[in-house]
Structure 1
Amino acid sequence: MWGPAVVSALLQLLFLIISVKILGEAAERIGIPSVTGEILAGVLLGTLFLDVETDIITFFAELGSIFLLFTAGYNEVSLKNLKFESITALVPTLFQIVFAFIFGFALGRVFDFNFLESFFLGVAFNPTSIAVVLGTLINLNYLSSRPGTAILSSAFLDDIIALFFLSVVVNFARFNRIPPVLVILIIAGKILLFLLIMYILGNYLFPRLFIYAEKMHAKEAVFSLVIIIALFSAYLAELFELSPAIGAFTGGIVLSEIPLAKLQDIQSKVYGLAHGILIPIFFAFIGFLIDPYALRNAGSFTLLVILAAFLGKLAGGFIGSKAIGFDSYESLIFGIGVMPRAGIELVILTIGRELQIINQEIFSAMVLMVIVSIIISPACMKWAIQASRRRDRGRQ
């Protein structure tokens, strides 16, 4: 017989899966991303259940964070398609990353955070939600425009660069201070060695494994191999003292270049497992971790987090876009387009909380910033695009 803890965990998981779907659907129907409703489901979990089985819920949530990053690399990133667009987007991307980092780091120093906390805040200001950006651009029929293409490419680059700096922060956290130059070089060496191993596996071993798996009589062998590589990549990154999320993202990118791993049937099954169950549980877990009292105590800090996070992206994106020849409207659209945060941002915040780099007040304030960004940014971008189109019609 199962113990009371397992039965209780089953009930709580059942509640989460039902509530994330209902509240996620409600969010979509009123025109905001489903992640908002999924986070609210986690808030309800903490409100309605007095004794949450945290260990079991945490395990599923951590799997969700791994598959969130894995599917981002596996489904959303195409290195071949990004080569040309990334060159165009590189300058505005670097500008908005630098500005966002400076705004985050400066905010931490204003509130007397130590160097590691301030550095983490700067890193956490960097990611852009690919899903929110892509959905908004498609809805506004703006994806094929030059600014639209640059925004999407910049979102990809954002996440890759943010995850690289996250690996540095994770290692910084082990020292609780800036490590010596030799140690920094060792960290960089570990990252490069990990990437080299993944590159070799992705080009020489994994394709052969998929050919063999396709010939196997065992059911769902190819699908199982995709899941195995996702978990293996996360595990290998942990062995190199990097974040498992970084490993999962790298594993996803590697598999995105292997045709047998990208069969439509396999992709749909991976997507179903990840987005049907695990990733919504991760978002709900974020909601469960939010402390309303911490938000109330944070006061002006929460408001300044939201303003600094938005202004850093907007200013950097605007200036960087002007530098490559965009006009003022296009530069404004680009700056607004890179403001929304969601998946990778929440993974970074969760890791920072687990490593005790940031406290509960910072975590809760940053999660609220994410929620506000995915609600406000699409509306602002719609206004900017419509203003640009009105101007163009006026010139005709």
Structure 2
Amino acid sequence: MTLELLKMVIFILLGTKIAGHLCNRFNLPVVFGELLLGLLLGPAILNLVAETDGIAMFSEIGIILLMFLVGLESDLSLLKKYLKPAITVALFGVFVPFIFISLLGQLIGMGTTESFFLGIIFSATSLSITVQVLKEYNYMDNEAGSITLGAAILDDTLVVLLISIFTAAITFDASTGFTVPMAWDLIGQKLLFFGMMYLVAKYLITPAMRLSSKLIAVKAKTAMALVLCFTFTIFAEEMGLSDIIGAFFIGMMLSSHESAHEIEKDVDTIGNSLFIPVFFVSIGLGISIEALFSQFGLILLLSVAAVITKLAGGYFASRLMKINRNVALVVGSGMVSRGEMALIVAKIGQEAGYISSEFFTAVIASIIITTLISPLLLKFSIGLDQKEDNTENIRA
């Protein structure tokens, strides 16, 4: 087991560095090459890497560390400044895909329950894919990056809430009515999580980091930061939220601490040298070439609908908030990727029987295709925005 895992990790690490080199040479987003590498190394083509428990574990740690890094690199003042447009973009980014793709589900022969859950799946946004591209092009700490980041975080929270409401509606018993446990699952747990985050930020982080600085041990501050990260990852999951939300928020709380830069540097080394590449490659492992050909029409239809609804939702919401066209296009493009969040929601739907096996493969393929398209779309929109900025600077 251990030797097989090490062999697969060797292929992934060598492959991602070569893919990164080629993407940089041809001016493509590095994450695009890593996603394609998953398709190449996986069962679809070379069959050198499989979706084993070990790869899944490395992948899960990778996304947690990635979102923790995003939190550490966040500018709280910018996120607060663009909170209102971020909320608007998140609302449009969830409900435009939900409405249109639910209707599409009805048109392709799904039942009401299945079509509604299909809408929920494609309402999700992959924060990790978008963040990687924004980081690569230094777009984290500006208007477009801050709105996109805030909207994607709120998007994930809204999708989790939608799943809770959907499940409650499916299992609702009219004879018992709306119960206290149901209210706790829907709202109470989420409020408790954010309340705890506030208390930790105010009363725990500074003493914990002060204690770690007094320890005579190697990288004690980074170790303490990771303890906090993993603790709140678990807590978020227990409260019915995505684990990555816990990792992001604790990273954001640490971002203003005096040790933030040192911690960020250490975690970046740990994450990007091993765990984060495994995560991006793992997304491409689930593609089946046979399924791509056998359900090509359905996959194409779902993929086009998925791209257009997110792009349009993000773009028009931004324009509604008086954001200029090119920045609005960056925001819309940043919301397109479905990635790990949609895959998780789809898996929940399959296990609960909300999505039938007839449509499941096409749904997974469509999620992966939108995830492959999104870095290219985001790069294109960033290029347009940068071109306009350069033109304005020349005129000035």
1:26-65 alignment runs, 5 A limit: 26-43=22-39, 44-46=41-43, 47-49=45-47, 52=50, 54-65=52-63
Q: Of residues 308, 329, 336 in structure 2, which corresponds to 1:335?
A: 329
Residue 79 of structure 2 is matched in structure 1 by 82
**In the superposition, relative to structure 1, how do residues 178 and 125 fare at CA in structure 2: closer, same or farther (>3 Å)?**
farther
Question: Which deviates the most, 239-248 or 104-113?
Answer: 104-113
Q: Residue deviations 1:167-201, cap 9 Å, x none?
A: 32554686693657542553211011011112212
Q: Offset at 1:277? A: 1.4
Letter in 1 for 2:364: F
**Structure 1 residues 176 and 323, CA, compared in 2 at 3 Å: closer, same or farther?**
closer
Take 2:333 and 2:312, find their aligned partners in 1: how far apart are those partners? 10
Measured after TM superposition, the shift of residue 28 of structure 1 is 2.6
Q: Which residue of 2 aligns with 1:274?
A: 271
Separation of aligned partners in 2, 1:41 and 1:293: 18
Matched residue SS, 2:333: coil
Q: Could you say what secondary structure the match of 2:202 adopts?
A: helix
| 1:176-229 residue CA offsets vs partner (Å, 9 max, x unmatched) | 936575425532110110111122122211210100101110111101011111
For residues 197 and 319 of structure 2, the distance between their equivalents in structure 1, rounded to whole angstroms, comes to 37
Deviation at 1:346, TM superposition (A): 1.8
Secondary structure of 1:129's aligned partner: helix
Which string of whole-angstrom CA distances, capped at 9 and with x for unpartnered residues, describes residues 89-147 of structure 1? 55455445543443343333433261552242342258582342455575xxxx99xxx
The structure-2 alpha-carbon separation of the partners of 1:108 and 1:72, relative to structure 1 and needing over 3 Å to count, comes to: farther
**What amino acid maps onto 1:71 in structure 2?**
L
Change (3 A) 1:160 1:325: closer
Please give the secondary structure, in 2, of the residue aligned with 1:258. Answer: coil
Task: For residues 43-83 of structure 1, give each alpha carbon's deviation from its aligned partner in whole angstroms, at most 9, with x where no partner exists.
Answer: 214343478471111111111122222222222x2322322
Which of 18, 24, 45 is equivalent to 1:22? 18
Number of residues of Structure 1 aligned to a counterpart in Structure 2: 376
2:285 alignment partner, SS class: helix
Q: Deviations over 1:337-391 (max 9, x none)?
A: 4214588x3220231244244623211211111111211342255347647987x
Q: Is contact 2:68-2:247 (8 Å) kept?
A: yes
In structure 1, give the amino acid aligned to 2:292: L
- What is residue 347 of structure 1 aligned with on the other side? 340
1:341 and 1:29 mapped to 2: Cα distance?
Answer: 26
Q: Which residue of structure 2 aligns with residue 117 of structure 1?
A: 117
Please identify, of 358-367 and 99-108, the stretch whose mean Cα deviation from structure 2 is larger: 99-108
Unaligned runs of 5+ in 2: none
Quote the Cα distance in structure 1 between the aligned partners of 2:262 and 2:328.
Answer: 35
Bigger mean CA deviation after superposition, 281-290 or 184-193: 184-193
What pairs up with 1:157-176 in 2 under 5 angstroms? 157-169=150-162, 171=164
Extract unaligned runs of 5+ from structure 1: none
Q: Are residue 319 (structure 1) and residue 316 (structure 2) matched?
A: yes
In structure 1, how many angstroms separate the alpha carbons of the residues matched to 2:34 and 2:150?
A: 26
Deviates more, 1:88-97 or 1:154-163: 88-97
Q: Distance in 2 between matches of 1:69 and 1:276?
A: 16
Provide the rounded CA distance (Å) in 1 between the counterparts of 2:118 and 2:318: 27
Scaled by the length of structure 2, the TM-score of the pair is 0.82
**What is the aligned partner in structure 1 of residue 186 from structure 2?**
187
Distance 2:153 2:184 in 1: 20
Following superposition, the deviation at residue 10 of structure 1 comes to: 1.3
Partner Cα separation in structure 1 for residue 53 and residue 152 of structure 2: 28
Q: Which amino acid in structure 2 is aligned with residue 214 of structure 1? A: S
Change (3 A) 1:25 1:189: same
- Deviation (angstroms), 1:304: 2.6
Pairing of 1:281-320 with structure 2 (within 5 A): 281-320=278-317
1:12 to 8, 13, 30: 8
Change (3 A) 1:126 1:295: same
Q: Residues 36, 320 of structure 1: CA spacing in aligned structure 2 closer, same or farther, 3 A cutoff? A: closer
**Aligned equivalents of 1:58, 1:348: Cα separation in 2:** 15
Instruction: Say if 1:234 and 1:244, in contact at 8 Å, map to a contact too.
Output: yes
Is residue 334–residue 374 contact of structure 2 (8 Å, CA) maintained in 1? yes
- Would the aligned equivalents of 1:42 and 1:284 in 2 still touch at CA under 8 Å? yes
The whole-number CA distance in structure 1 between the counterparts of 2:393 and 2:219 is 54
Check 1:171–1:346 CA distance in 2 against 1; reply closer, same or farther (3 A cut): same
Task: Kindly indicate whether the alpha-carbon contact (under 8 Å) linking 2:23 and 2:30 is maintained by their aligned counterparts in 1.
Answer: yes
Change (3 A) 1:90 1:371: same
SS in 2 for 1:177: helix
What code does the residue aligned with 1:167 have? Answer: V
